[in-house]
Amino acid sequence: MIFNIPFIAVVAMIFIGLYAVLFKRNLVKIVIGISIIESGVNLFLITLGYREGGVVPIFTSAPSDVASNAPGSMVLPVPQALTLTSIVIGVAVLALMLSLIMHIYRHYGTLDVRKMRRLKE
Amino acid sequence: MNWFETITMHSPALIVAVPLLAGFLTPLVSRINDTVRNLFVLIMLSITGILIAILGYDVLTNGIRTYVFGGGNTVITLPSGLMFHVRIIFEVDSMNIFMVIITIILAIIGIVYSLSFMKKEDGLDKYYTIVLILVTSTLGMELTGDLFNFFVFLEISCITSCALIAFWVHKGEALEAALKYIVISSIAALFFLFALGLLYAQYNALNMATIANAIQFSIIDQAALILIIAALTMKAGLVPMHMWLPDSYGEAPPSITFILIAATQAGLYGAFRVIFTLYGNVFNSINLAYVNLVITANTIGWVLVALAIITIIIGVFMALIQTDFKRLIGFTAVAEIGYIFLGIGVRLASKYVQYSGSSATAIAFSEYSSIALNGSIFHIINDCLDIGLLFLVAGAIYYATKETSLDKMGGLARNMKYTTVFFIIGLLAVSGMPPFNGFASKLMLYESTYQLNPIITIIAVLASILLLAVFVKVFYSAFMGPEQQKFKEVKEVPKGMLIAMGAVVVIIIIFGLFPNLVINNIVQPAADALTNYTTYISKVIPGVI
Amino acid sequence: MSEMSKIVRTLSNITFPFIMVFGLYVIAHGHLTPGGGFQGGAVAASGCVMLIVAYGSTWIFEKIKVSRLSAFESLGALGFIGVAFFGLIFGGYFFNNFLVRTGILFNIIPETGFTGSEFNTAGVLPLMNFAVGVKVIAGVFAIVVVMAYASSLKEWKQ
Amino acid sequence: MSTRNIVAAVMFSVLAVFFILTALMLSFGAPIKSQMDDYIITHTQNETGTNSAVTTIVFDYRGFDTLGEATILFGAVSGVLMIFRRVKK
């Protein structure tokens, strides 16, 4: 079980994020929650690709003894590529959400969910 | 190889690439002037439409077509006999074609409508850019055969729809609806990504056919299934997470809502694909190994039926009490989504009965389960057209009177004759009245549901009748009644909007008069494509099954 | 955002070229070392954002037209999809890496280890990296400029 | 305590149990299968002339995803610029 600690960390991050999204009343905190969930999922993907004792799958910086028995001694590259895509997606979503929140703040003068009409439910 | 064959071969990629290229070019083209930009957008979408027609003809006659991005072999075989995919694959079968046709019809009509509806707004070059990207993402979701690619397009669709919902930034409600939409759909997308990670950890593959071929339905797979279905039903607007749908449909510009409907249906398509193809060997065939588990076709089917019934009831009853025209139609859209999921649920549950019952019931239920699937698929296109038409009418009324509240309308039939006729057709179609298209699909749903449990049918029929009542009320309060002073100067909307609404009405009437034509030519092949999941798999992994 | 003190401005003047060069290095060596268009673009864009912090968003907003940044972003995206279309034309498939292992220039298999002399490998990948890099710099910079400028306007303050 | 809170708490606890159970079943450090990644690591230098396997995947094997990613950034920038446009009142 002790070897599952990275996965426990992933789950913990997802929970912290979900908690913020579900129970917090401040819009910025909700956005922070989504960001934390996303980090959790990214960490999950990275964690899936880890191979015991593996090095980064880049031949420029790999020691020659590692590179010679190549696939077995390197971590899996696909999850890293997926994470890369996912991070950029996260940045884009974050930018859009924050600009919406700026507009909402200008409109209502508050960030409290309870003061708004549609977001209340 | 002649040029037509070449175009057909590359069309799966071009269908996505052409509107994307158009989206990237629009900011540059719109520096010239507005007319050029509008023409450019229309022409690019028409080219996409032609490509879709070519591909659709090919797929419906010759079967599944695949496209490998980057070329090379579709499948890599190791000496040990393992086969897998490295590159992204688009795999197009009749179901994909069905969805893509819906999307492009809605996109072109939506663009034609917005050419006159949005004429007086600012920021139109960004508007058209984002609309093109939204259409691209919807097409991409519906064509792709790769799970991660589906996720990427899901996120594109989420971002672009959010930006478009917030188009009227001076309205606070629009901003709130957009924020709600993006929060819910990005959480849904992250759930999807998590589930994808679970599947990747199991099978080291991202291609749908490869995973479908290897699926074991272990506990992790079941967890992934639940997460994916939860994510996609969030995106499609099933009950626990339906609140974003009326908000965003109600607050977005109507031309956008019309295209958003297609984007929502893409999430629905994802649910179809995941249930019937990715987990096809569990839900689509006789596999006694999976009968004793907790999560079977039966439980998933009944859960979906229950959620669908709740969705229908909530949608209809919330629609009853709304006073805002567009929000009212939004809740109707929720109810219609419920009908589609009802079809899926009935299909799964009766498929289970078919395998566990005696041979006589087996034959009967096999027939009814396929009717349920057909009805469900047919209802997708009817839902798009009917709800879309109502939104276009609401937009036309807003354009003419600057009013969306039903209490303040009245007597509009005198000045807006065409719109009134279109609205009557829309209301009859959406509530499932005979000569129109909603009737055909709803009848199929009722018929199959009745075999499973008559109570469900009764609820569904009653909800449909209530829907009629809701819209008759709307009709009287908006179009009938005494002529109001402030609406005396109201004129009929411009020709572009009338053409767009007229096109939808023509399609609705054709579908309503000749439902068999549609069912035999596109709905039945789509249902067959979903049912024969082995064909889907063996197309990209030769020699399997 | 108003401009900051002279110390900050001078320091940001000094560090700005280094950040940009590092960003361009990461973009250019994306196919050999960790990094690539997105990462390098983000580094370079953060260098530009540092200027906003130091000089104030109003000054930057007047110096740089956001529509021009948006056009640059369009060009980057067009470059990317253009390379993909060239793959369709010359290689026979969308996104085909039609340059790799061809001709005199690219017919090299890179060696393992720090050799540092094999920049001309990988076919179209450096081109894509470059297009994405331009796109990310322009896009992220445009987002930050617009948001910073909008938040500094009077009508946004309560 | 409002209904919203109760619903949220129920959803939260269901998800909690669900995710924890899932996480406990995975194994860390030893991927069950790795045929696709092994293929990529082995062939990255020969097929694409790239030393970095991650870049190979991002731009070559799964280049279309990256196009989507670029599109997302493009869409977000267009969206932000559209939201912050000057609206005439």
Contact between D11 and A4 using a beta-carbon 8 Å cutoff:
no
Contact B10 C94 (CB under 8 A): yes
pLDDT at D30 over 80: no
Q: Please identify which residue in the block is written with the tokens 């023509």.
A: B506
CA dihedral B318, B323, B326, B332 (to 10 degrees): 20
pLDDT on residue B170: 84
Nearest-angstrom CA–CA distance, A121 and A114: 9
Mean pLDDT of chain A: 83
User: What chain A residue is nearest to C141 in terms of C-alpha separation?
Assistant: A95
Q: What is the CA C112 to chain-centroid distance, rounded?
A: 27
Kindly give, in sequence order, each residue whose CB lies less than 8 Å from that of residue A40, ignoring residues fewer than 6 positions away: A10, A11, A12, A13, A14, A17
Distance from CA of D35 to the nearest CA of C (A): 22
Number of domains in chain A: 1
What is the tens place of the pLDDT at every residue in C107-148?
A: 666 666 666 556 667 777 888 888 889 999 998 888 888 888
Tell me whether residue A11 is in a domain: yes
What pLDDT does A38 receive? 92
Say if A70 falls within a structural domain: no
Residue A65 within any structural domain of the chain: no
Out of D26, D51, D80, the one facing A96 most closely (by C-beta) is D80
DSSP state at residue C96 = -
Overall size of chain A counted in residues: 121
Neighbours of chain B (3+ CB pairs under 8 A): A, C, D
Would you say B245 and B277 are in contact if contact means Cβ atoms under 8 Å apart? no
Which residues constitute the domain of residue A35?
A: 2-51+75-118
The number of C-beta contacts closer than 8 angstroms across A and D is 132
Q: How many helices (H) and strands (E) does chain C have?
A: 5, 0
Of C32, C66, C140, the CB nearest to D81: C66
Contacts of B78 in chain A (CB under 8 A): none
The answer to whether A100 and B182 have CB atoms below 8 angstroms apart is yes
DSSP summary character for residue A55:
B
Set of chain A residues whose Cβ sits within 8 Å of the Cβ of C119: none
Cα radius of gyration rounded to whole Å, chain B: 23
Where is average pLDDT lowest: A98-107, B79-88, D9-18? B79-88
Inside any domain, residue A62: no
Greatest alpha-carbon pair distance for chain B in Å reads: 82
Query: Do the chains contact at B187 and A37, CB–CB below 8 Å?
Result: yes
D residues 36-55 near B, CB within 8 Å? 36-37, 39-40
pLDDT (tens digit, 0 to 9) for every residue of chain B, 545 residues total? Answer: 688 888 888 888 889 889 999 988 888 888 888 889 889 999 999 999 999 999 888 888 888 888 888 776 666 776 666 677 788 888 888 889 999 998 999 999 999 998 888 888 888 888 899 999 999 999 999 888 888 999 999 999 999 999 999 888 888 888 888 988 998 889 999 999 999 888 888 888 888 888 888 888 888 888 888 889 888 888 888 877 788 888 888 888 888 898 989 888 888 899 888 888 888 877 776 666 666 666 777 788 888 889 999 999 988 888 888 888 888 888 989 988 888 888 888 888 877 766 666 666 677 777 788 888 888 899 988 888 889 999 998 888 888 888 778 777 777 777 788 888 888 888 888 887 777 888 888 888 888 888 888 888 899 889 888 888 888 888 888 887 777 777 777 777 788 888 888 999 999 888 888 888 888 888 888 888 888 888 888 887 776 55
Contact call for residues C35 and C136 (beta carbons, < 8 A): no
- Give the H or E element holding residue B77: strand B76-77
A15-48: b (≥16 Cβ within 10 Å) or e: bbbbebbbeeeebeebbbbbbbbbbbbbbbbbbb
A9 part of a folded domain: yes
Query: Is there a contact between C150 and A64 if contact means CB atoms under 8 Å apart?
Result: no
Residues of chain C contacting A60 with CB distance shorter than 8 Å: 32-33, 110, 112-114
Q: Which amino acid is at C26?
A: V
State the chains in contact with C (3 or more Cβ–Cβ pairs under 8 Å): A, B, D
| Residues in chain B within 8 Å Cβ distance of A101 | 179
CA-nearest of B242, B228, B207 to B336 is B242
Q: How far is D49 from chain B (nearest CA, A)?
A: 15
Interface of B with C in 456-475 (CB under 8 A): none
Chain C residues touching A61 at Cβ < 8 A: 33-34, 114
- The dihedrals phi and psi of A74, each to the nearest 5 degrees, come to -120, 150
Three-state DSSP class for C157? coil
Q: Which helix (H) or strand (E) holds A42?
A: helix A27-48
pLDDT at position D32 over 70? yes
Task: Compare A50 and D3 and report the one with higher pLDDT.
Answer: A50
- Say how far apart CA B107 and CA B498 lie, in whole Å: 16
Q: Is A51 on the interface with D (CB under 8 A)?
A: yes
b/e map D49-82, b = 16+ CB within 10 Å: bbbbbbbbbbbbbbbbbbbbbbbbbbbbbbbbbb
Our CA-based measurement puts residue B31 at a distance from the nearest CA of chain C, in whole angstroms, of: 10
CA distance B274 to B286: 18
Cα–Cα separations (whole angstroms), residue B334 to A11, B232, B309, B338, B383: 32, 15, 11, 6, 10
The interface predicted TM-score (ipTM) is: 0.92
pLDDT at position A32: 93
**Gap from D83 CA to chain B (nearest CA, Å):** 6
User: How does residue C44 score in pLDDT terms, banded at 50, 70 and 90?
Assistant: very high
Length in residues, chain B? 545
How far is residue B47 from each of residues B23, B57, C25, measured CA to CA in Å? Answer: 14, 15, 40
Inter-chain residue contact D84 with C36, CB threshold 8 Å: no
Task: Give me the DSSP letters along chain D.
Answer: --HHHHHHHHHHHHHHHHHHHHHHHS-SSS-S--HHHHHHHHHHHHHH--SBHHHIIIIIITHHHHHHHHHHHHHHHHHHHHHTSPPP-
C-alpha pair distances (Å), B151 with each of A18, B77, B114, D5: 20, 26, 29, 30
Contact A1 D24 (CB under 8 A): yes
Cβ atoms of C2 and C56 closer than 8 Å = yes
For B275-295, letters b (16+ CB in 10 Å) and e give bbbbbbbbbbeeeeebeeeeb
Packed helices B124-143 and B3-29: angle between N→C axes, nearest 10 degrees:
150
Q: Are B254 and B394 in contact (CB under 8 A)?
A: yes
Q: Indicate the length of chain D as a whole number.
A: 89
Q: How far apart are CA A22 and CA A18, in angstroms?
A: 6
Q: Considering CB atoms only, which of B78, B126, B160 is closest to D81?
A: B126
Burial C56-71 (b: 16+ CB within 10 A, else e): bbbbbbeebebeebbe
Distance from CA of B160 to the nearest CA of C (A): 15
Give me the pLDDT at residue C63, please: 82
Task: Look up the CATH number of the domain holding residue A43.
Answer: 1.10.287.3510
Chains in touch with A (≥3 Cβ pairs < 8 A)? B, C, D
Which two three-digit tokens encode residue C72?
A: 């640059």
The alpha carbon of residue B116 is apart from the nearest alpha carbon of chain D, in Å, by 19
Q: Which DSSP letter does residue A112 get?
A: B
Best mutation site among D40, D41, D44, D55 for testing chain C: the one with the most C CBs within 10 Å? D55
Closest alpha carbon to B162 in B287, B230, B63, B263: B263
* B186 touching chain A per CB within 8 A: yes
Residue C105 pLDDT grade (very low, low, confident, very high; cuts 50, 70, 90): low
Contact A57/D41 with Cβ under 8 angstroms? Answer: yes
What's the 3-state SS for B384-449?
Answer: HHHHHHHHHHHHHHHHHHCCCEHHHCCCHHHCCHHHHHHHHHHHHHHCCCCCCHHHHHHHHHHHHH
E strands in chain C: none
Q: Which two tokens stand for residue B128?
A: 């058209």
Token code pair at residue B405: 């509240």
Chain C residues with CB-CB distance to D45 below 8 A = 109-110, 112
Contact A96 D31 (CB under 8 A): no
In this prediction, residues A24-35 reach a mean pLDDT of 90
